[in-house]
Amino acid sequence: MVGDMDASRDDIMANARRALDGSSDASLLEAIAQLEHAAALGCGEAVARQAGLLAAGVHQRPDWDRSVDLLQRAAELGYAPALTELRLMAGDAEPGAAPAALRSRIDIRELVRPRPAQTAKSAPRIRIVPALFSAPECRWLISRAQSRLAPAAVYDNAMAGAVVIDERSNSEAAFGLAHLDVMLIFLRTRIAHSIGAPSHHLEQASVLHYAVGQQFAPHFDYLDPAMPGQAVDLARRGQRVATALVYLNDGYDGGETDFPRLGWRYRGAPGDALVFDNVDRTLTPDPRTYHAGLAPTRGEKWLLSQWVRDRPAA
C-alpha cells in the first residue's frame, strides 16, 4: 500500500512539473491543483514548489513568511533542496540543524535589503553593486543551474521568438515557474531593491555559463521597434529598460563584459553586479549600450542575467 501511494504521489508530481512547464494559464491552474494533491500525500517537492509560487505571488497574494514556513515543511518531509535553501537563508554553515531551528534564524528583511550601488558611467547609466550576492548564494545558483544547461538563444528579429545562432555559443539555464525557489525570489527582490526597479517588472532570471572560447557577440538588450518580431513583443510586454548581470565565480581568465562603443570593459568578483540602462530617460533605445560577453581563455564563467521591463512582466 505504501509503495502504491509513493508511486501515485510521484506520478502526480511528474504531471505537476509538466504543467508548470506549459505556457498557458490553464496549464498553470492544472499545475497548482496537482501540487495541492501531491502535497496532501506528503510530497516535499510539491510543498517546496508551492512555497516558490507563493513567494512569487503566482495566482495569489505573495506571502514571504508563509512561503518560508512551507519550505520548512518541505524540508521536514525529507526534500533535501528545501533544507539547503533554509540553511542558505539562515546563514548556517554547520550541518545538522533542524528545519525549525533554521527557520527561526531567517531574517527576510535582511535577505531582500538593498545593497548600495556605485556609478561607473553616467551616460549611458552604468552602475556597479559590490557584493550583491554572498559567496554561498553564488555557489547555490550555480548548483541549481548545472544540470539544466542548454544552448543559449537570442531574440529572433523577424518573429517574436528565440533562436540559437553561432554568434552566441554559451549555455544557459532559465528559471521559469517550474524552478521558482523561495531563495531565488528573495535574490531577485534584492536586485530590484538595489537598482530601484519594481520587483514585478523583472523577467525570469537565467544563469549563464561560458566555457573556454564561448562568447556572446556584441548585441543590444533593448527591443528595437524597427524589427518586426521585437516590435510585437515591445507592444505586448514593454521595453527591456535595464540589464543586471551578477558574476558568480572566479578562477577564469578573460570573460569580461565589453562595451566597445564606450571603450570600457568590466569583470566583477563573485557576487558583484553590473547594471546598465538600455534606454534613455524617454525610453529611447541607446545604441551606446552595444555590448558583448567575451570568452574566457581559461576556466569557466558563470553569471546570473536579469532583464527589467518598463511594465509588469508576465
Cell of 152: 543559449
Q: Is the pLDDT of residue 216 over 90?
A: yes
Say which residue the cell 570600457 belongs to.
264
Q: Where are the domains of the chain?
A: 2-106, 118-309
Strand-strand pairing, 273-277 and 240-247: antiparallel
SS3 126: strand
Confidence of residue 7 (pLDDT cuts 50, 70, 90): low
**Cα 247–267–297 angle (5° rounding)?**
95
Name the residue among 115, 242, 134 with its Cα closest to residue 189.
115
pTM as predicted: 0.94
Helix (H) or strand (E) holding 142: helix 135-146
Name the residue among 73, 204, 90 with its Cα closest to residue 137.
90
pLDDT score for 1 = 47
Mean pLDDT, residues 68-76 taken together: 98
Mean pLDDT, residues 245-254 taken together: 98
Residue-level length of the chain: 314
The per-residue pLDDT of the chain, averaged, comes to 93
Q: Is the pLDDT of residue 5 over 80?
A: no
Spatial contact of 296 and 211, defined as CB atoms under 8 Å apart: yes
Reported as a single tens digit per residue, the pLDDT across 172-210 is 999 999 999 999 999 999 999 999 999 999 999 999 999
Spatial contact of 211 and 222, defined as CB atoms under 8 Å apart: no
Reported as a single tens digit per residue, the pLDDT across 8-64 is 888 999 999 999 988 788 899 999 999 999 999 999 999 999 999 999 999 999 999
Reported as a single tens digit per residue, the pLDDT across 277-311 is 999 999 999 999 999 999 999 999 999 999 999 99
User: Given 3.40.50.300, 2.60.120.620, 3.40.50.1220, 3.90.1150.10, which CATH number is that of 118-309?
Assistant: 2.60.120.620
Reported as a single tens digit per residue, the pLDDT across 236-249 is 999 999 999 999 99
Top pLDDT among 5 and 115 is at: 115
Q: Is the pLDDT of residue 161 over 60?
A: no
Q: Is the pLDDT of residue 314 over 90?
A: no
Rounded CA gap, 6 and 77, in Å? 13
